[in-house]
Chains A and B, each alone.
Chain A
Amino acid sequence: MAKLTPYYGTPRIDGQHPDVFPGSPLALIAIFVEVIRLRFSQDNSYKLPYYWTQDPTPEEDEDNSDDKPRKIQIESQYLQHPDSRDFRPAIFVERGDMSFSKIVVGNRAEYDEKTDSNLYVMQATTPISILCVTKDRGESMSIGEIVAFYLASLLPELRETFGFQDATLPMLASTQVYRRSSNDIEEWVTPVNLQVTCKHLWRERVIAPKLREIQFSLGLAPDGSNPTLLNLSLYKGRTAT
């Protein structure tokens, strides 16, 4: 089984770009791409007619049987430079509208008197859509069912490992024609939909006490002799008096 290295308790996978923050859309997509790849790779794909590897080029002798399985592509839904175009069967992961919701008044969870700082909290709920795209309707349903049951059975571990506040049971949606443009070749898609909720925390620390500390350590009197520091210290309506 391939090793997945999550930031334990954090909705992000290790090795992502530093700009991808935990719980952000790209972090969520990456989690589900990797988790579904796991289902179709190495010994997890035993007796499955599909398997995933990084290189999607079909093998000479593959014939979509249990003994000689066919490669499957598992990616984020939109790739600017995809490894393979129009490769089927494919599983694409996409996210829907991320909606933030308030769980406490003013989002304020805690106030720390010593540092004069506030801890805020809110939830972000994101629909995740996993599209199982193939050339045949029956096959699309079949792959959709594998993905849906896998995610349903994995849900407690998924929540624990990636610190999801909540993850709903997946919904295996109806199979439909997958048509990106009017002259696309016939393809079918079975979406597997679920929602994940992540907790977002942030702390607001007023800057004035810190600035006062700097002023005193530098030996500057707060009498207006240093206008730059004074301007900065006006944050949140407080003055450095």
Chain B
Amino acid sequence: MVMALNIKAITGLYPRGFFIQWDVREATESGEYKFDVYRSGSQSGPWDLLASGLTDRYAYVDRFDAPFDATTEAVLRPNQLNLFRYFVYRIVVTAPSGKTAEAVEDGHPRDEGALNDLKMNQYQRKALRDFRLSLKFNGTKCCILKRRHWGVRCDCTDKKTREIVRSSCKKCWGTGIVGGYWAPQLTYARRNVSTNASAVTPQGKSDTNDTKFWMPDYPSLECDDVVVFLRDQSRWRIDQTVGTEIRLQQVHQVISAQSIDRSHILYSLPVDPDVENPLL
């Protein structure tokens, strides 16, 4: 299989920049993957190199708040307040063996009608802003642990079959990739009341505790990612994600998650919200 790069989302953090998230498919090699991030005004370039040789990343924030300088500010800070200005991003990944793959994606609305419907774009931005603001009141602080899918394979994984043979390893936290999860990302989420259910089955008592979260549209979450609520230190594994969209543009995410049992090794994973997030 050929390694491929997929830009999952380009999310506007109006007017501070863009959040670009990617995913490497068929990342079969063990080792450090490096990423170069480019930006352009068009698909054909020319490309400005924003960052080179990024490691330990699944996302990059193209930050527009440059140091204050009256002479250069107008150039460094693109205007994000208009509704028709978008950027094109190009990511190049270099595998440990030197193989490369790249992806180009623009932040245009995917719906052609929405592209020219400025009023609709306005509504969409308002919905995004309102939702993020509302979380400050009805949400609670949480950290997102995005599961690593590429990187250095852990010793607890069999090299030939790539099966994890020790699930409670503290080097990879049961993921098979050293580190286990990317740096925790602090955010807010609205958590529904969780449903506790205990069922008697022939295989023993089954206790499940599931809930739903409403979260901002970035970072894009996937199954097996973990959400840690800081207030009660409860940890949840994501089972299902549903993106709420306006004309194919994501506004927020609705997440179904299962409570992780307290004996799980993930409860030993320290999540310090005071640590500066390398992304933001």
Contacts and interface: CB of A to CB of B under 8 A. Distances in A.
Interface of A: 49, 56-58, 60, 62-65, 70, 77-79, 82, 84-89, 92, 131, 134-139, 141-142, 178, 180-181, 183-185
Contact of A138 (B165, B197, B199, B210): B165
Nearest to A70: B168
Interface string B38-76: 000000000000000000000000000000000000000
Contacts of B203: 77-78, 92, 131, 178, 180
Contacts of A70: 166, 168, 265
A92 B261 contact: no
Nearest to B199: A181
Interface of B: 156-158, 161, 163-171, 174, 197, 199, 201-208, 210, 237, 239, 258, 260-261, 263-265, 268
Given A64-B156, A88-B263, A180 B167 contact: no
Contacts of A178: 203
A184 B166 CA distance: 21
Given A64-B156, A64-B265, A82-B204, A138 B161 contact: yes
Given A65-B166, A183-B239, 16 more contacts: A57-B263, A58-B268, A64-B167, A70-B168, A70-B265, A78-B202, A78-B204, A78-B205, A79-B205, A88-B263, A138-B165, A139-B167, A181-B199, A181-B201, A183-B258, A184-B208
Contacts of A138: 157-158, 161, 163-165
Contacts of B264: 88, 135
Nearest to A56: B263
- A-B pairs, top 10 by smallest CB distance, nearest first, are A138-B163, A64-B168, A63-B170, A180-B206, A86-B261, A136-B164, A180-B201, A136-B167, A138-B165, A64-B166
A168 B166 CA distance: 29
A63 B161 contact: no
A63 B239 contact: no
A63 B169 contact: yes
Nearest to B260: A185
